[in-house]
Amino acid sequence: MAEPQLIQIDKRGAVAVVTLDRPEKLNALTPDMLGQLEQAAGQLEADADLRAVVLTGAGDRAFCVGADINQWSALAPLDMWRVWVSRGHRIFDRWAALRLPVVAALNGPAFGGGLELAAVADVRVADPGATFALPEAGIATCPGWSGTQRLVSLIGPSHVKSLALTARRIDAQRAYAIGLVDEISEPQASLAAAMAIAQKMAELAPVSVQLTKQLINAAAGCGAAATLEAMAGALCATTRDAREGMASFRERRPAQYEGQ
């Protein structure tokens, strides 16, 4: 029996809307959903027609309230590390490193892993009724999917401590004030507002947008080495010397380089 499709991808021209589709459970994340998020990242990367992504949650009650406690609380300690924390980190890192810009439409509460997922986006738009929290300490655990890492880069250690060490919830206005969200939409219009931003991104030169994203990520300490090597390799590939090097290899002769 095929597993239910809990991550939906809806292409709208050059923009893909990716939806966490488990509204009856407030889009709480399960192992199956993590796997489907990873598959979705691969699909998005491979689609040459796409220029931007919007990430949101189904329904009008939540963006994502985090990891499904009934799923992870049953895991043995080693499985918690191998299956849950390590895998979630890898998948969230892959989303953060997507070449395409990602806009999160936060249509309701984003708690724990849901807030950590929102943090992988490049821009976050919140409904005025959205709330935010890192509640893990209230159930005797810790943020597990970069809540103490990526969020620190985003809003600074003091604001993360204020959330994580109290487990308190903050509203959209407070989230905007500390830089956790970039824009507050009209009520029930976070998806429309996020789509408008994504469509603007999609109108611009795609290679420039994607390279600029990588440069900014590198400045923030994410993937700097890979970014430098990729851009150096791409620059070398545009030179006449590169064409000469390939030709000399195929023709089994010494290369005649010009420095151009």
Give tens-digit pLDDT for 189-234.
999 999 999 999 999 999 999 999 999 998 888 777 776 777 777 7
Structural domain boundaries, residue 62: 7-203
Query: According to the model, what pLDDT value does residue 186 have?
Result: 98
DSSP 184: E
Same domain, 173 and 218: no
**Extended beta strands in the chain, E state:** 7-12, 15-20, 52-57, 102-106, 110-111, 123-126, 131-133, 170-171, 183-184
> Which residues have C-beta within 8 Å of that of residue 226, sequence separation ≥ 6?
none
Instruction: Read off the pLDDT of each residue in 162-183 and give the average, rounded to a whole number.
Output: 98
Query: According to the model, what pLDDT value does residue 248 have?
Result: 87
Same domain, 73 and 139: yes
Structural domain total, the chain: 2
Last residue of a domain, one of 186, 203, 220: 203
If pLDDT is split at 50, 70 and 90, which confidence band does 145 have?
confident
Assess if residue 245 is contained within a domain: yes
Query: According to the model, what pLDDT value does residue 235 have?
Result: 78
If pLDDT is split at 50, 70 and 90, which confidence band does 95 have?
very high
Same domain, 231 and 160: no
Same domain, 210 and 181: no
Instruction: Read off the pLDDT of each residue in 158-167 and give the average, rounded to a whole number.
Output: 97
Give tens-digit pLDDT for 99-121.
999 999 999 999 999 999 999 99
Give the domain CATH number at 162: 3.90.226.10
Same domain, 90 and 210: no
Last residue of a domain, one of 203, 225, 243: 203
Among 38, 136, 203, 251, the active-site one is 136
> Which residues have C-beta within 8 Å of that of residue 159, sequence separation ≥ 6?
178, 179, 180
Mark whether 136 is an active-site residue.
Answer: yes
Assess if residue 142 is contained within a domain: yes
